[in-house]
Amino acid sequence: MQEYYDLKRGEKGAWLSISSYLFLSSLKLIIAYIAGSQALRADGLNNATDVVASIAVLIGLKISRKPPDQDHHYGHFRAESIASLVAAFVMITVGIEVVFNSFTKLSEHELETPNMLAGYTALFSATIMFGVYRYNLFLAKKIKSSSLYAQSQDNLSDALVSIGAFGGIIGSHFGLSWMDPIAGIIVGLIICKTAFDIFKDASLTLTDGFDSKEIKQIKKGMAKVEGVQEVKDIKARLHGNQILVDATILVHPELTVEESHQITDQVEEYLAEAFHIHHTHIHIEPYK
């Protein structure tokens, strides 16, 4: 099925993130030790924790590819949403730590002027992570993967962390040593905000929530299908990257069972074509 093929493609994005994080975290920690940069060291540790989040996404994608079984009749697609939650928790933990450490450094006046090698490393890292972010964001939208989207936002946060570290290092060389911790606080808050947004979206999916505007569009479109007199009721929920729709439509009471069934087929074809919804349950009632 197409959804399982898409999930297989999504694993490429997770592997790309893991490889990038492993390389950059090792590079940053080594350069931070040589250059004497606390900001770059924190950035490297941040990437090291991101490896855990990336592995969680990869596991979620692999589990989602498992076909339905006796205990999971709708498949395992929600493993993606659980992976998104794990990524969000890791991100918010890192974000709080960055804010706390930066504030402590600022309040205790622990200000240093690291070697510019640390700044160049941070800028190089930001460039790499922004490229990874763009690739994963493109892939997430292509295959409609919530966990890979969460991963892309984590990639963007890491690029911002590196830019913040670069700005702080540059500032310290111009006598503005306070810029390092201030940048750290701002970046930490950005990470926390991104993590909260991911947590909110994953929680909405896991609690069977659905965008009210989108469901109105789906209902409006279904009502235009030939033979549908009225859409009496419609419910929708997300199951990983799949939309499940349950609807009750009213048709002319004198239609035969076969004719009514043909209308449901037309509704299902319309939903698949217009909204990429391939899992529907249509109930028919007579129009009065």
Q: Which CATH number is 52's domain given? A: 1.20.1510.10
| pTM for the structure as a whole | 0.66
117 and 201 belong to one structural domain: yes
90 and 129 belong to one structural domain: yes
**What domain range includes position 263?**
212-286
Where b means 16+ CB within 10 Å and e means fewer, 107-132 reads eeeebeebbebbbebbbbbbebbbeb
- Specify the CATH number for the domain of residue 231: 3.30.70.1350
39 and 75 belong to one structural domain: yes
Residue that terminates a domain, selected from 181, 206, 231: 206
Identify whether the C-beta of residue 82 lies closer than 8 Å to the C-beta of residue 206.
yes
154 and 252 belong to one structural domain: no
Identify whether the C-beta of residue 39 lies closer than 8 Å to the C-beta of residue 168.
yes
pLDDT for 73 equals 62
269 and 161 belong to one structural domain: no
pLDDT for 6 equals 54
Residue that terminates a domain, selected from 155, 184, 206: 206
Q: Is 250 helix (H, G, I), strand (E, B) or coil?
A: strand
pLDDT for 10 equals 63
Q: What is each CA distance from 151 to 36, 107, 156, 251, in whole angstroms?
A: 30, 33, 9, 45
Q: pLDDT digit of tens for each residue in the chain (288 aa)?
A: 445 445 566 677 778 888 998 999 999 989 988 887 777 887 887 788 778 777 777 777 777 777 767 777 666 667 777 877 887 888 788 788 878 877 887 777 666 677 788 889 999 999 999 999 999 898 888 877 776 787 788 888 888 888 888 888 888 778 777 776 777 777 778 778 878 888 888 887 777 778 788 888 888 888 888 888 888 889 888 776 678 888 999 998 888 889 889 999 999 998 888 887 878 889 998 887
15 and 153 belong to one structural domain: yes
Alpha-carbon span 136 to 237, nearest angstrom: 24
Amino acid present at 187: V
pLDDT for 130 equals 94
199 and 224 belong to one structural domain: no
Quote the crossing angle between the two packed helices 212-223 and 257-275, to the nearest 10°: 140
232 and 187 belong to one structural domain: no
Identify whether the C-beta of residue 48 lies closer than 8 Å to the C-beta of residue 94.
no
pLDDT for 112 equals 66
Identify whether the C-beta of residue 198 lies closer than 8 Å to the C-beta of residue 148.
no
154 and 226 belong to one structural domain: no
45 and 186 belong to one structural domain: yes
Residue that terminates a domain, selected from 145, 179, 206: 206
Q: What is each CA distance from 136 to 9, 21, 186, 192, in whole angstroms?
A: 11, 14, 24, 20
227 and 280 belong to one structural domain: yes
199 and 110 belong to one structural domain: yes
Quote the number of domains for the chain: 2
